Chains A and B, each alone.
Chain A
């Protein structure tokens, strides 16, 4: 993927750069940060994550499977224990609950993986080891035509290094 990558040392500089780049519609931005930071969040201003839908569906699947497997297998070979009902749904709530948590949580993780495109087996273009340490990064995906302009903006906002990718 073609684009320009800029590494910043300061948070406020990064924020400024993002806002400017967005204003000029140079292309899709990717921001790199060692940790979650709200100023960046505000600047990027992305839509709400859809992971929560995975969670809901997973949880519902789980709870229904839990109840189903308990009730079905009890009726499949009816054996009376302690004079209790063959399919006693009240204790089976525990099975339902545990399955809800299990499947719900795992599908949440799956949701996160799928949405954030991991696991990825290669660290692709536009990444720099500094971004896991102290630096912030801004990658502007754009063709050679807009590259000049992009570089200029990044430098102007105080990028410690700017490089062309792809």
Chain B
């Protein structure tokens, strides 16, 4: 083996090792980005938001007044679905849970967006600060645009939700214009002009 060859081999190995270290370090190892879970009922956001024009807060009623956004109760669903789309198989499932209110059962939704338990995430602080839902939850309003039957995709975790991701926004600030764009809202001039909203980023803001 010639000297030249030997050195290429050795440096090659070194380069590989370095690359591996960096990759493993940067890959959000404990992130569940892209997580998608099958749900007991093929719920579709799009018709509710786009057709029915419902506000997120209609179902996630606590999102602007509690750390916990809350979720529609079965009764809330049945408020409409005793009349609407009663024949659809998915709604039949829903009706089965409700069972005309006679010892009704709650729907065991599978949690998609979950931060570790040592993270305190107050939804309402973010919502009230004007952070649009889409900034974290992605294009949730389009989920299941073609209904539950044609190429259905359940709700998905589009962002890593890992610490670096949170901190990025707390340090560099949330840009209202970007948020509005993500939410498909009109981006006005003063929105564009608005300075990014920074937030605290010392540990005890979220970890206690």
A residues in contact (CB < 8 Å) with B: 79, 117, 119-122
Complex Cα gap A109–B1 (Å): 22
Whether B3 lies near A122 (C-beta < 8 A) is no
Complex Cα gap A121–B1 (Å): 7
Nearest CB on A from B204, distance (A): 11
Nearest A residue to B167 by beta-carbon distance? A77
Question: Which residues 1-50 in B have Cβ within 8 Å of A in the complex?
Answer: 1, 3, 6
Q: Which 3 A-B pairs have the closest CB atoms?
A: A121-B1, A121-B6, A79-B202
Whether B202 lies near A117 (C-beta < 8 A) is no
Complex Cα gap A79–B6 (Å): 47
Complex Cα gap A120–B6 (Å): 9
Whether B3 lies near A117 (C-beta < 8 A) is yes
Nearest CB on A from B85, distance (A): 51
Nearest B residue to A117 by beta-carbon distance? B3
The residues of B that contact A120 with a CB separation of less than 8 Å are 3
The residues of B that contact A119 with a CB separation of less than 8 Å are 6
The residues of B that contact A79 with a CB separation of less than 8 Å are 202-203
A79-B202, A117-B3 given; 4 more Cβ-contact pairs under 8 Å: A79-B203, A119-B6, A121-B6, A122-B1
Nearest CB on B from A21, distance (A): 27
Nearest B residue to A122 by beta-carbon distance? B1
Complex Cα gap A120–B126 (Å): 63
Q: Mark B171-208, 1 if CB is under 8 A from A, else 0.
A: 00000000000000000000000000000001100000
Complex Cα gap A121–B4 (Å): 12
Complex Cα gap A122–B1 (Å): 8
Complex Cα gap A130–B1 (Å): 25
Q: Mark B92-118, 1 if CB is under 8 A from A, else 0.
A: 000000000000000000000000000
The residues of B that contact A122 with a CB separation of less than 8 Å are 1
Nearest CB on A from B12, distance (A): 15
The residues of A that contact B202 with a CB separation of less than 8 Å are 79
Complex Cα gap A119–B9 (Å): 13
Most-contacted residue by chain B among A117, A121, A122 (CB, 10 A): A121
Nearest CB on B from A63, distance (A): 22
Complex Cα gap A77–B202 (Å): 9
Nearest CB on A from B22, distance (A): 15
Nearest CB on B from A110, distance (A): 11
The residues of A that contact B203 with a CB separation of less than 8 Å are 79
Nearest CB on A from B189, distance (A): 35
Nearest B residue to A77 by beta-carbon distance? B201
Nearest CB on B from A119, distance (A): 8
Nearest CB on A from B132, distance (A): 27
